[in-house]
Amino acid sequence: MSSPRYREVSRRKQAARAQAIRGSGVSDARPEGSDFEPYLRATAPEIVEHISRGEWTAAAVLEAYIARATEAQSLTNCLTEVLFAEASAAARQLDEEFASTGQIRGPLHGVPVSFKDQYDVAGVDTTVGLSAWANKPAARDAHVVALVRAAGGVPIAKTNVSQMMFFAECTNPIWGRTLNPHNKLYSSMGSSGGEAALLAMDGAALGWGSDIGGSLRMPASACGIFSLKPGWGRICMDGIQDPLRGFEGIRSVAGPMGRSVEDLEVAARVVFGKQGTEDAPAPLAYRDVVLPEKLKFGYYLSDGYIKPSPANQRAVLEAVDALRQAGHECVPFEVPQAVEAIECYMGLVAADGFKTLTADLGRDPVEPGISGTLLGPALPGWVRKTLAWALRRLFGDDVFARVTLATRPCSMQEYTQWVRRRDAYCRKFESEVWDKHGFDGVVSPVIGLPAMPHDSCRYLAPLAGSACLYNVLNTPVGVVPVTHVRPSDGATVEWTNPRVGSGHGSASIERLLYGFLDRNGRGKGGYYDAEKMAGIPVGVQVVGRKWEEEKVVEMMKVVDHALGPRAFGPFSWRR
């Protein structure tokens, strides 16, 4: 039975949030064409440029973003801790400094910035959706937050996450559910879903999330924004709270989210290589990179784990076509045994039966989206083996059977074997992809669906495995928005029948996604429904080699420029 404590914590936290919004004196965003529009159309570097010329003030910029953040909250429930009053005081101080000195404080001067609710901000809670973490305000800023402030950034709010930040929807018992700003029937995805929803609606000019299994990338794709997952070791994690703190089998990384590649670049320049007091990243500051005129990209439409939807595959093909027209070489290739990487991922993260992850859960109710994941290691061994047998014999699904068997508690000896298998897979990928083909970068789907319907993660949690591939590899990955789902993107026999077409993986998960073929030759009865999903954004991953984050940023610019003008970027969201 759940304790009523979480309900009381939730009531008080949500009431405080509402009061902080009311205290700002802003109830809604002004309509398009208002005085706010120029501020909302500007990227983070453009905001700084206008302020440095004396054309704008930090206070005026902030007013516009507070108004839009208020609207974003009312439509999507994306905010947790609201910092409008503190932000207003900080913006006024920046304006006073500029009036006195004629100099901006730094490269983020006057830029409204939001943070996923795992970044400590002095004076407010960091709950990650756990009642046990409430009413314990942080004594000081996380290192990234402090660096943002020192560069002139203005923290405006903290944003919602999935419970314990470990599943692909964005909902928890304290703050509730965050909706996709493009379709309320679908999730903003997780776990950085509050950030993605806020940024998609221009509620902040720059944001910060994290990624241990796609959490920067899935929300960015589903909400139509840009994000950058660095490899571990580029950004200091001091003051970035995590229920899995201390776990090193798969490293969680911090990363920027924004409405343009330029937003990500300025954010990375502020934090890369900056040393903290507890966590010491590589002392490697942001490096300027000059790309060759012609790049060689590898690409794939499916990693062979779960076949991505027609909309997700079309996004890759559109990006590849645009790159080819721009004069770049694009070569298809096969991912070497992606299921091996996903086995390693689940074997490592489930090694203690998720005891560390759930240690502070207390008597909070478990969200349906994570319940299936938590159940896996709790199954008796004979049940797990029987389930794997059934998947193989009854559904012909060796892929998910292997992942099911890997999701179990293990001994220290077994854990070290998983680490060795992880490292062996990384060497294999390096040899069979990067060394063999000489790619500059890779373009790929993010996961198999554009977005998940609410509460579907209880069945579709394995979808995140395709994103987890690059957490196992610890490589830098950016997300670039490409297109939107069209009603014509429906599944055909090549998706509903695992014996037809290429790229198939887990037969049981693909059946959940694509259902069966109706009399019109379209997939019905699955979670993927192009007609219902119409208008949801779809992005692609731009992947680089280890320690080549700066090159990934430049390749994202190449992809973005090749795709040309489209309905993404600042002030692109429409009601």
Q: Which residues are catalytic?
A: 116, 191, 215
Nearest to 311 by CA among 492, 484, 184: 484
Q: How far is CA 532 from CA 74, 169, 276, 446, 452, in A?
A: 23, 18, 46, 20, 11
Residue 214 assigned as binding residue: yes
Inter-residue contact 513 to 527 (CB < 8 Å): yes
What is the residue type of 341?
A
* 82: its two tokens: 């609201």
Beta strands (DSSP E) in 259-410 are 296-299, 329-332
Check if the beta carbon of residue 286 is closer than 8 Å to that of residue 257.
no
Nearest Cα residue to 355 out of 253, 246, 250, 252: 246
Q: Which residues contact 194 (CB under 8 A, 6 or more apart)?
A: 78, 79, 80, 116, 117, 159, 160, 161, 170, 178, 188
165 belongs to an annotated ligand binding site:
yes
CA–CA separation, 127 and 135 (whole Å): 9
| DSSP H stretches of helix in 396-464 | 398-406, 412-429, 436-437, 457-460
Secondary structure of 289-322 in HEC code, one letter for each residue: CCCCCCCEEEECCCCCCCCCCHHHHHHHHHHHHH
Residues 490 and 496 sit within 8 Å (Cβ to Cβ): no
d(CA 185, CA 262): 31
218 annotated ligand-binding residue: no
Q: Annotation-wise, does 252 bind a ligand?
A: no
Q: What amino acid is encoded at 345 in this protein?
A: Y
Per-residue tokens: 466? 């395709």
Say how many C-beta atoms besides its own lie within 10 A of residue 235's C-beta. Answer: 29
How far, in Å, CA of 19 to CA of 11, rounded? Answer: 12
Give the Å distances, CA to CA, from 366 to 33, 115, 126, 172: 44, 24, 19, 8
Q: Which DSSP category does 432 fall into?
A: I
Q: Is position 213 annotated in a ligand binding site?
A: yes
DSSP 56-114: S-HHHHHHHHHHHHHHHHHHH--EEEE-HHHHHHHHHHHHHHHHHHS--SSTTTT-EEE
For the annotated binding site, the residues are 165, 191, 212-215
Binding-site positions for substrate read 165, 191, 212-215
